[in-house]
Amino acid sequence: MTQTDTTAIRHADILIVGGGLSGAMLAVQLLRLPGRRQILVIEPRAELGRGEAYSAVELGHTLNGNAARMSVDPDNADDLTQWLTEHIAGGGWPESDQQHVPVSELFPPRGLFGVYVQQRLAEAQQVGAEHGSTVEHVRAEVVDVQTSADSVQLTLSDGQRLQGAFAVLATGMFPAARTPQKQSSGLNAAGLDPWDVSAMRQLDPQSTVLIIGSGLTMVDAVVSLEQAGHRGPIEVYSRHGLLPHVRRQPPAWVDFLAEDHSIRTPRQLLRELRRHCRDAIEQGIDWQAPLDTVRAHIGRLWSQASDVQRRQFVRHVRPWWESHHHRSPPLSAELVERLHREGRLRIHAASYKGLEPASGGGVGIRVRSRGESETHVVQGAALINSSGIEYDWRRVDRPLPQQLLARGLVQPGPLALGIAAAVDGAVLDAQGKVSQRLFAMGPPLRGMWWESTAVTDVASQAKALAARLVAQ
């Protein structure tokens, strides 16, 4: 069948919807397992393994974790470190010496990380070929899904129809800045892409830029502006006015959650974590050391919490959790700190309330400062939406999420974060029935595990899900 044939149905064993990190890692794990199977990865981008996060082309847009934390091999925590060592020794990434740290502590550019993922996929394809397994990139967007007792059928944006025994929703993240939203506030239409350096070069270098959101996307936006030659004021507005802390490399700390299983609720966790952080500081040890031990237990703690406890965490703790846990790479943090110190970058604790007309071809926004009841208007030459990731599929105005919800094949996950699924990734339909054919992994399971977006989470889920699909 050719790519233009829209009448026949093409068959495969496993259909992977999305070819970013999640889809590529699932393909890798499937290819490594014995047995003969045909895998189709449906991804509209030209390359697999990159997705939104790793399609970045600027060297300044780096991972927010060092190499030792970002292996795509769940059985080898040093896999990225080893790959980088060989890559650098071969003449790749000459700029790495600017970080002045061992390879394991390097923060690679996200584009380079995409190359690493692609190489691991290519190696897995060679392994799969030995026992007759194949993976093929179908360059299109999935716009509809239908399931039956024994198969899943996908309809693609180019009219193709694909059928498989199983389909996996590996859709990755929906960045707010790039995602059409139902009941849109118009923020995206009026704003610049946080990663589009070429567009930022068209700005007056001395002009004022407004940014909504103060998390890691904001850090990327500031890096983009700096690389574009912008030298004017940057005004950042976020509800709590919190900046991400810089990621450091603290020494090991006792895994207190592994030793004390009586800690079960968010309140208990915060109380005990604060105690350990105080102890660390009193001993002259970085407070990030105790915090980093929590990472391995987040999924368990989140899944056993009640809906009330989860809501309390999201409402009252989430902003501080995000700023302390999702930390900024050192070089980017140094830039933000310098601009803040120079007075060029200012952080405002204020909520975005909508767009306003602006004179002189600029943009205006209405904001409400924290603790105040009245709103006011601020103006700038440009606006950037750095509000992070849209996890609520009901708000994502894209064909696939809307069709899945409309057909009742999925339901919103806890707190409307992603979609609901069983422990093994099998999705739950609108009536709560566990699907035998449709699965999900990675960011769509945010509501199930809270942290379901990090590389190590995705890699572990990919390995477990591959084994599940092959066994079934």
pLDDT, tens digit (0-9, with 9 covering 90-100), for 181-214: 887 777 888 899 999 999 999 999 999 999 999 9
Residue 74 lies in a domain: no
pLDDT at 102 over 70: yes
If asked whether residues 455 and 359 sit together in one domain, one would say no
Residue after which a domain boundary falls, among 325, 349, 366: 325
If asked whether residues 241 and 130 sit together in one domain, one would say no
Strands (E), 308-386: 345-356, 363-369, 376-380, 382-385
Residue 336 lies in a domain: yes
Q: Which residue has the tokens 């993240």?
A: 173
Strand partners, 144: 155
Residue 19 lies in a domain: yes
- Measured between alpha carbons, how far is 39 from 162 in angstroms, rounded to an integer? 11
If asked whether residues 113 and 139 sit together in one domain, one would say yes
Helices 21-32 and 110-130: crossing angle in degrees, nearest 10, is: 30
Nearest CA-CA partner of 380 in 169, 272, 230 = 230
Residue 352 lies in a domain: yes
Q: How many domains does the chain have?
A: 3
If asked whether residues 409 and 424 sit together in one domain, one would say yes
pLDDT (0 to 100) of residue 7 = 60
| CATH code for the domain of 377 | 3.50.50.60
DSSP labels, 106-133 = ---BHHHHHHHHHHHHHHHHHHHHHTT-
If asked whether residues 13 and 161 sit together in one domain, one would say yes
pLDDT, tens digit, 9 for 90 and up, residues 421-459: 999 999 999 999 999 999 999 999 999 999 888 899 999
- Measured between alpha carbons, how far is 17 from 286 in angstroms, rounded to an integer? 41
If asked whether residues 57 and 15 sit together in one domain, one would say yes
117 to 68, 73, 110, 112, 274: CA distances (angstroms): 15, 10, 11, 9, 37
Collapsing DSSP to helix, strand or coil, 304 comes out as: helix
Collapsing DSSP to helix, strand or coil, 400 comes out as: helix
Residue 99 lies in a domain: no
* 342-352: average pLDDT: 97
Burial of 149 (0-12, 13-18, 19+ CB in 10 A): exposed
pLDDT at 6 over 70: no
Q: Please give the structure tokens belonging to residue 223.
A: 């890096």
pLDDT (0 to 100) of residue 190 = 85
Residue after which a domain boundary falls, among 340, 364, 385: 385
If asked whether residues 275 and 315 sit together in one domain, one would say yes
- Measured between alpha carbons, how far is 419 from 431 in angstroms, rounded to an integer? 13
Q: What is the mean pLDDT of the chain?
A: 94
pLDDT, tens digit, 9 for 90 and up, residues 261-295: 888 888 889 999 999 999 999 999 999 999 999 98
pLDDT (0 to 100) of residue 4 = 46
If asked whether residues 56 and 151 sit together in one domain, one would say yes
If asked whether residues 265 and 312 sit together in one domain, one would say yes
Residue 95 lies in a domain: no
Q: How many CA atoms lie within 13 A of 455 on its CB side?
A: 26
Strands (E), 139-257: 142-147, 152-156, 161-169, 209-212, 234-238
List the domain range (segments joined by +) for residue 290.
256-325
Nearest CA-CA partner of 348 in 245, 243, 237, 239 = 237
If asked whether residues 232 and 185 sit together in one domain, one would say yes
* 92-101: average pLDDT: 93
Residue 454 lies in a domain: yes
Residue after which a domain boundary falls, among 293, 310, 325: 325
* 90-113: average pLDDT: 95
Residue 292 lies in a domain: yes
Per the model's pLDDT, the better-predicted residue between 129 and 453 turns out to be 129
If asked whether residues 277 and 420 sit together in one domain, one would say no
Amino acid at 204: D
Collapsing DSSP to helix, strand or coil, 439 comes out as: strand
Beta pairing, strands 9-17 & 161-169: parallel
Collapsing DSSP to helix, strand or coil, 350 comes out as: strand
If asked whether residues 395 and 451 sit together in one domain, one would say yes
